[in-house]
């Protein structure tokens, strides 16, 4: 029997990878370009499962609809699951699976890219030389060697990023709810309190999940504890940062640089071409006006290797569900 999967947020690159990997699975894939939310949940009716991405909004109202269509599986093709009401899904008997690990290298390498680009002003140099302006004024950077980077969240991505930072000769301070002391010893890094990390880091990079505890972790309060001119990098989730507070920090100069692959209101903009419209999000517009801010549109995951792994694990998760096999990538509700 062929199961029908409604694949939301499907871009040409998703379709290419999923169609290739699906040759080994034989699902009926029905692609929708919209991200799943209450306005278009109807598109899921008739499907056996939905496959969604980072900007879907799967709250209890959407879950109720999915349940009424007889859908029993939500397959996230990403690691984070903050956009799905797991409690509501569990209550309705809908399973949620995800792709916990597809290429920590992709995200860690993008993190480093943002840091180096901001430090050495490559984004500005690119534009300047295109205009035959070969001046170096304003472009002085700093050696990464010997600087201190604070890593918040030392899971798969945080640890991979630490490997890159150590390769540059940086000092690493780390914070995690569950410190891995063996890793710290083997890699010559130090776990410290958040306050110590804020006070002593030249660069701070976020690799923890978005949870109730981490929402707006970076706010005016935490920024006030940081070094003057700190660089903040976020390739985690947008809501880890209170964007208006970050903007205040950038205006005052307290924050010297920000590299953002994610943004708290990204769902309205990221992954789509809005170039022929007026920007209505004043906060995003302000962020984009700073020459010491780089915004990328949630692309840290976007490598050939990661896309292939995402499709393979997603299909495997779906197959395991329909074959009643062990769901090793299930998201289990924790009260
Ligand atoms: P992971 O689960 O391997 O590691 C997360 C780490 O954060 C764990 O060590 C955990 O103990 C720690 N943590 C949890 N709560 C914390 C808290 N309150 N304070 C400090 N640390 C805490 O996850 P992984 O694979 O390293 O991914 C991290 C995050 O990166 C994901 O949750 C996701 O939001 C984001 N991500 C972003 C991508 C992008 O394209 N920009 C792609 C993939 C993931």
Crossing angle of helices 12-22 and 304-322, in 10° steps, is 50
Q: Are residues 285 and 256 in the same domain?
A: yes
Residue 332 lies in a domain: no
Beta bridge partners of 49: 5
Whether residue 26 contacts residue 2, with contact meaning beta carbons closer than 8 Å, is answered with: yes
- The answer to whether the beta carbons of residues 329 and 317 sit under 8 Å apart is yes
134 and 275, same structural domain? yes
Same domain, yes or no, for 155 and 170?
yes
The pLDDT assigned to 334 comes to 87
Question: Which CATH number do you get for residue 75?
Answer: 3.40.50.720
Is 330 in a helix, a strand, or coil?
strand
Residue 335 domain flag: no
Q: Is residue 172 part of a domain?
A: yes
User: Probe ligand 1: pick from 83, 98, 157, 196, max atoms within 8 Å of CB?
Assistant: 157
pLDDT by 10-residue block (mean), the chain, 335 residues? 94 96 97 96 98 96 98 96 96 97 96 98 98 98 98 98 98 98 98 98 98 97 98 98 98 98 95 95 98 97 96 98 97 90
pLDDT of the residue at 335: 80
Ligand 1 centre from 210 Cα, in Å? 8
Together in a domain, 76 and 157: no
Q: Please check whether residues 114 and 250 belong to one and the same domain.
A: yes
Asked whether 238 lines ligand 1 (CB < 6 A), one says no
Residue 288 and residue 246 share a domain: yes
> For residue 237, how far is its CA from the centre of ligand 1 (angstroms)?
9
**Residue 287, C-beta contacts closer than 8 angstroms, at least 6 positions apart:** 243, 246, 247, 258, 260, 263, 293, 295
Q: Output the six-digit token pair for 59.
A: 């709250």
153 and 275 part of one domain: yes
DSSP state of 153: -
Q: Is the CB of 98 under 6 A from ligand 1?
A: no
Q: Which of 260, 279, 295 is the last residue of a domain?
A: 295
User: What pLDDT is attached to residue 273?
Assistant: 95
The Cα angle at residue 78 between residues 178 and 257, in degrees rounded to 5: 70
Distance CA 214, CA 236 (A): 11
- Catalytically active residues are 237, 266, 298
The domain containing residue 184 runs over which residues?
104-295
Q: Are the CB atoms for 204 and 231 separated by under 8 Å?
A: yes
Using a 6 Å cutoff on CB, does residue 267 contact ligand 1? no
Same domain, 289 and 312: no
SS (H, E, C) 189-245: CEECCHHHHHHHCCEEEECCCCCCCCCCCECHHHHHCCCCCEEEEECCCHHHECHHH
- Structure-derived torsion over alpha carbons of residues 65, 67, 71, 77, reported in degrees to the nearest 10: 70
What per-residue confidence (pLDDT) applies to 120? 98
Q: How far is the CA of 236 from the centre of ligand 1 (A)?
A: 7
Residue 208 lies in a domain: yes
Q: Do residue 229 and residue 264 come from a single domain?
A: yes
Q: Yes or no: say if 5 and 47 are a contact pair by the CB < 8 Å rule.
A: yes
The reply to whether 158 and 287 lie within a common domain is yes
Q: Which of 81, 178, 193, 207 to mutate to test the pocket of ligand 1 (most atoms within 8 A of CB)?
A: 207
Pocket of ligand 1, candidates 100, 102, 176, 306: which has the most ligand atoms within 8 Å of its Cβ, to mutate? 176
Q: How far is CA 128 from the centre of its chain?
A: 30
- 229 with 317, same domain: the answer is no
Residue 200 belongs to some domain of the structure? yes
Please tell me the total count of domains within the chain: 2
Please work out whether the CB of residue 301 comes within 6 Å of at least one atom of ligand 1: yes
Residue 331 within a domain:
no
pLDDT confidence of residue 306: 96
- In this structure, the residue with its CA closest to atom 44 of ligand 1 is 79
* 205 ligand 1 Cβ < 6 A: no
Cα-to-centroid distance, 177 and ligand 1 (Å): 11
Predicted confidence at residue 90, as pLDDT, reads 97
Strands 171-175 and 190-191: parallel
Q: Is residue 137 part of a domain?
A: yes
In a domain, 330, yes or no: no
How far is the centre of ligand 1, averaged over its atoms, from the C-alpha of 162 (Å)?
14
* Same domain, yes or no: 203 and 84: no
């Amino acid at each position: 029997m062929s199961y029908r999967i409604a694949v939301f947020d499907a871009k040409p690159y998703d379709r290419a990878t999923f169609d290739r990997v699906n040759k080994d699975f034989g699902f009926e894939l029905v692609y929708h370009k919209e991200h799943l939310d209450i306005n278009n949940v109807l598109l899921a009716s008739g499907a056996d499962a939905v496959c969604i991405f980072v900007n879907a909004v799967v709250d209890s109202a959407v879950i109720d609809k999915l349940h009424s269509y007889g859908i029993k599986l939500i397959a996230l093709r990403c690691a984070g699951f903050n956009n799905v009401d797991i409690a509501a899904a569990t209550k309705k008997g809908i399973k949620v699976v995800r792709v916990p690990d597809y290429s920590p290298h992709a995200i860690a390498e993008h993190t480093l890219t943002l840091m180096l680009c901001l430090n050495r002003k490559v984004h500005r140099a690119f534009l300047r030389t295109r205009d035959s302006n070969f001046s170096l004024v304003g472009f002085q950077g700093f050696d990464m060697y010997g600087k201190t980077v604070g890593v918040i969240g030392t899971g798969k991505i945080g640890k991979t990023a630490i490997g890159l930072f150590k390769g540059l000769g940086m000092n690493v301070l780390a914070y995690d709810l569950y410190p891995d002391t063996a890793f710290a010893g083997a890699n010559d890094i130090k776990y410290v309190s958040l306050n110590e990390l804020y006070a002593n880091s030249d660069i701070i990079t976020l690799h923890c999940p978005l949870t109730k505890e981490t929402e707006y972790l970076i706010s005016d309060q935490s920024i006030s504890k940081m070094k003057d001119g700190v660089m903040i990098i976020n390739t985690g989730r947008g809501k880890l940062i209170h964007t208006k507070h970050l903007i205040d920090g950038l205006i005052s100069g307290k924050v010297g640089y920000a590299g953002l692959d994610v943004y708290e209101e990204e769902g309205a903009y990221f992954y789509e071409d809005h170039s022929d419209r007026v920007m209505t999000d004043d906060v995003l517009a302000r962020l984009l006006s700073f020459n010491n801010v780089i915004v990328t549109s949630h692309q840290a995951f976007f490598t050939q290797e990661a896309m292939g792994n995402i499709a393979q694990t997603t299909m495997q998760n779906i197959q395991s569900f329909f074959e009643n096999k062990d769901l090793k990538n299930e998201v289990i509700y924790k009260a």
